Amino acid sequence: MERQLRQLITDASGIEVHWIRAPANTPRPYIRLSLITELGDHTMEGRTPLRQSMIQVDIWAEDMADLLTIKNAVMVLDGYNDQSGDDPIKVILLDKVRSGEDTSNPADIVLRYSIDFRVFHS
């Protein structure tokens, strides 16, 4: 799931995508992915192969125009549906979007959008 999601987001956005943390001095804009939760699916007969993960997609940029362009590109994944294929990801659904900024260095304020997707996968 991780490799496929990274590739889908890279293809949609055209920028660098990293899981968990970006290497030091990664030029902005870039995207960082984090697994927030992963839940199994069960029936009375036991576990099914389907999993549901909440993935946080953090977009980091230095100006609002880049940030919005990338956010809009990533948002096309909402509604992704490929239940017939052999790839692990079956469905991607938007959960929520938040905006913010990193002001830890006043000389270098960085803008951020966080997008949470529910990803259904095997």
Q: What is the three-class DSSP state of 66?
A: helix
What residues form DSSP beta bridges with 116? 56, 96
Per-residue confidence (pLDDT) for residue 89, from 0 to 100: 97
Per-residue confidence (pLDDT) for residue 96, from 0 to 100: 97
In the numeric block, which tokens belong to residue 4?
Answer: 């496929």
Per-residue confidence (pLDDT) for residue 85, from 0 to 100: 80
pLDDT at 116 over 90: yes
Tens of pLDDT, residues 52-105 = 999 999 999 999 999 999 999 999 999 999 988 889 999 999 999 999 988 777
* Cβ-contact 11, 3 below 8 angstroms: no
Q: What angle do CA 84, 1, 80 make, to 5 degrees?
A: 50
Per-residue confidence (pLDDT) for residue 106, from 0 to 100: 74
pLDDT at 108 over 80: no
Q: Show the domains of the chain with their CATH numbers.
A: 2-121 (3.30.2000.10)
Average pLDDT, whole number, for the chain?
93
